[in-house]
Chain A
Amino acid sequence: MVRQIISICLFLICFSVNAQQYLAKDGTISFFSKAPAEDISAINNKVSAVYDAKTKALAFQLNIIDFIFPKSLMQEHFNENYMESDIFPTSTFVGKVVSHKNGVANVEGKLTIHGEANTISVAGDLQVNDNVASISAVKFSVKLKDYKIKIPRIVMYNIAEEIEIKVNIEMKKQ
């Protein structure tokens, strides 16, 4: 009897751990770079994300090839020459909410792009309720140099050394 009760309790604990998690598979991450010759922008609508309200842990993952550019040649060069998506197919973020006041959260963690991981600290809106956790108004910049993304001199597009990234994700409770 005692054994059964313990088992049930443990299962419930497992369950409650799960119940704190919010999950998304259709988040949006976009980036923008203003350059003299041509503005460069792309959007990825297939971002997976998970937030654990109990541990305050947050993680994102996306496929580099899911970034859609207005110009298909840019998309090809992005994958082939800059991101080398055949070698580094995904980009991830694993971090934690370090403070959360009045709906604004500060998140710290490891951002991995092009196989290079850097610690970043980003602020944005985080709303958590019973069914949905949503992240919006997140805007931050990354330096291409930090992720060893090389820009050769001969290319036509004058690519900015910093790229602005925006995040918009709505996660549903599991």
Chain B
Amino acid sequence: MKKIIILLIMLSSIFAKAQDGLLSLLEVDNEPMYISSTFKGKKVVNGQSVEILSKGVLQFQIQHRFGPLLGQNYFYNLFGLDNSQIRLGFDYGIKDWMSVGVGRSSALKTIDASAKIRLKRQSKGSKEFPFTLVTNSAIYIKQYRWSETKEETFEVSNQLSFVHQLLIARKINRDLSVQISPTFVHYNLVNDTEKNDRISLGFGARQKLTNRISVNAEYFIQIKEKMNNDVLSFGFDIETGGHVFQLHLSNSPAMIEPAFIHETTGDWGQGDIYFGFNISRVFTIKEKN
């Protein structure tokens, strides 16, 4: 009896192996699976997202912000469309984990240069990590005329300001991603009543509506040395292959970190709402393989 049972077990094991066991032999290596596409754009709305351009990819970004949507003469100014300002920016992926960028904003006549470095990626599988961590650092210089440099009080360093951010994001599920961005801003030149160093905390989120459309929200709260209003923005991202279109509403018309985090005077409650959009187009300069 015992023998028969052993025999049956052994035969059944052989049988099982021959029948459906082939796929089970092909256990795919349990490599860590990195989470990608936490956000569609390199920016949530105004602030940077944890997304970094891949190596060899150049992104050209055209950003527009318009005048107040409502308020005085809103119809005469076509809901602010008559007062547009623009920022043109180029970003390039040097490594898969590092990108650099330059840009210029028209209204503030400010040139910016920035670098984003990814420290850690959210992953699951054999190596699990709950967040994607990215640092963003930027330097801003207000453009000046040659004649201004002749003035006695002029110093180039007075035209500079800096931003350092740690971006911590988590893709909670395939549709919802959230981000927290502790931010440090330093102004080289401030008024007597203001402090040079400011600290703020940014919150961002995106919810996908379809595979190609998402809604985003972003809020920066000024923690130390609050001088102006906090900025609250809502965005709508549409992705069409190589382009991402981002439409948004915000109480700040500015496009660079020091300005929209710490120099926002607009108030949603008073109808100080600005419409704007970003269009980004990527070009693959260096192909893989």
Contact = CB atoms under 8 A, between A and B. Distances in A.
Same complex origin of A and B:
yes
Interface in B110-168: none
**Top 4 A-B pairs, shortest CB-CB distance:** A156-B241, A72-B54, A70-B287, A48-B26
Interface residues of A, number: 49
Interface string A83-114: 01011011010100000000000000000000
A49 B3 contact: no
Contact of A72 (B18, B29, B288): B288
B25 A156 contact: no
21 contacts: A6-B7, A14-B13, A43-B289, A50-B25, A52-B22, A57-B22, A59-B23, A72-B55, A72-B96, A73-B57, A79-B37, A80-B211, A81-B211, A87-B174, A89-B33, A92-B23, A94-B23, A152-B212, A154-B240, A156-B241, A156-B243
Interface stretch (A60-68, A118-126, A129-137, A139-147): A60-68
A65 B11 CA distance: 38
Contact of A50 (B26, B56, B288): B26
A73 B54 contact: yes
Given A10-B7, A17-B17, A73 B23 contact: no
A71 B37 CA distance: 15
Interface of A: 3, 6-7, 10, 13-14, 17, 21, 23, 25, 43, 46, 48-50, 52, 54-55, 57-63, 65, 68-73, 76-77, 79-81, 84, 86-87, 89-90, 92, 94, 152, 154-157
Contact of B23 (A17, A43, A61, A87): A61
A19 B92 CA distance: 53
A95 to B, nearest CB: 10
A17 B212 contact: no
Contacts of A17: 14, 17-18
Contact of B22 (A68, A69, A89, A94): A94
